[in-house]
Structures are given as structure tokens and as C-alpha cells.
Amino acid sequence: MKLITEVIEEQIEYITEAKENGGKDYKIKGVFMQGEIKNRNGRVYPMQVLDEQVNKYKQSYIDKNRAYGELGHPSGPTINLERVSHMITDLYKDGNNYIGEAKIMDTPYGKIVKNLMDEGASLGVSSRGMGSLKQNGSSQVVQKDYHLATAADIVADPSAPDAFVEGIMEGKEWVWDNGVLREAQVNEYKEEIEKYSKRNLEKAKLKVFTDFLSKL
């Protein structure tokens, strides 16, 4: 069995709701998983496999308020509670898609997600699980031993590095809130960005943001 992650290319919807105390609840909604279609990784998830795993996931995790997801691309199937950014609250079938909803939590990494949303960054979702694959023509078919670890981690779309780097350059407090990113690291990233010419600035932004996610 191997770790299998799939980034969904569909746009996710941001939902913010005012709370009585003056704050806001942040949620995301969109396609979290897709079946019976060859994705950009060349893999196909049979609906029978997805249906079985999603039903188990809902009973064991969503219904018990412990369906967590992380920010970035974790390297293993286990949920690391220190990195949790959101809780998946619903997952339902729509044709060959599974539509999910998740509440962004008030954790250190959840705060980063909230601020990226406030800054207008586009974020995506990525499912994560373990399983074996069988070659079928030009596709790899996910087998019945597949185990879903989380229906959605939150991952960066192309605009997320821009919002993150702007936060660094403008000295915004959320960048290093709760010790997620220390001030010394912020200064190091600033120096890295300032070294690049305008022509290579986009490459620098992506490099800095990728480095940040790798240290989460």
C-alpha cells in the first residue's frame, strides 16, 4: 500500500458567517473527491471504492466531530493534531462527486488559512489515503484496499504564495502568530525575496511559500 493524495482542481467556495460576539465563522465548500474519472495523476477511483470508504469515514470521523484536515501536503497518512487547520463537517454524494464542507478552526494553522482567505488567496483541497493501484491501460485504478485518511487537506493554489509573501513584506502579525513562523524566519524570507529581480519575483514567492509549507 502507498500514500495516495489527490488535489481537486474544482474551485472551492468560501463561506463566512458573522458570530454574535462580533467575530466570524469561516467555512469552505466544494468537490472534495471524484470517482470514475481519470484525474491529473492518471488515477481512477471506482465509485464502489469511494462509496464504501466515505460511508466508513462519515460514521467513524464526521459523525463524531473528529474528521480533521491539515494545511499543506503531509508526508504520511496520520493526522497530526498540531497541524490541524479545519474540521470536515459534511460529505455527501452528487453524481460521481463527493461534495464536502469544512469549518476552519481557531488553531495556529487554521488562523493562517483564515488570513489567506481574507487576503483573497485561492486555496484548494486534497484527499489523502492509503491503498494499492492496478494498471489498466493508461490509468491506475485504486483498489478495494484503499483507506481514506482525510477527505480534505487544504493546499495552495497559485495565488496563495502571493498573499503569503505580501503578509511577510507588510509585517502582518498573522504570519508568525502563535509561533508558527518566528520573526527570524520572516526576516530570512524577506531577504530571500528582495534578492530576486522583478522578472524572477514569482519564482521567489513560490519558493518561499513552498519552504514555509515544508516546515509546518
Q: For position 151, what pLDDT does the model report?
A: 97
Residues 77 and 23 in one domain: yes
Residues 34 and 95 in one domain: yes
In terms of Cβ atoms closer than 10 Å to its own Cβ (0-12, 13-18, 19+), residue 113 is buried
If asked whether residues 104 and 31 sit together in one domain, one would say yes
Is 104 found in the same domain as 55? yes
Among 139, 156, 173, identify where a domain stops.
156
On whether both 73 and 170 belong to a single domain, the answer is no
Sequential pLDDT tens for the chain (216 residues): 899 999 887 889 999 999 888 889 999 999 999 999 999 889 999 999 999 999 999 999 999 999 999 998 888 999 999 999 999 999 999 999 999 999 999 998 999 899 889 988 888 899 999 999 999 999 999 999 999 999 999 987 655 667 777 777 777 776 665 556 677 787 888 888 888 766 688 888 888 888 887 776
Residues 111 and 203 in one domain: no
pTM for the model stands at 0.81
Verify that 119 and 198 share a domain, yes or no.
Answer: no
Same domain for 139 and 43: yes
Range of the domain at 174: 160-214
Domain count, the chain: 2
- Packing angle of the helix pair 159-169, 201-214 (nearest 10 deg): 90
- 181 and 151 within one domain: no
Which of 156, 171, 189 delimits the end of a domain?
Answer: 156
Q: At what angle do helices 159-169 and 183-195 cross, to 10 degrees?
A: 110
Residues 10 and 72 in one domain: yes
Separation between Cα atoms, residue 188 and residue 215, nearest integer Å: 14
Q: Do 61 and 32 share a structural domain?
A: yes
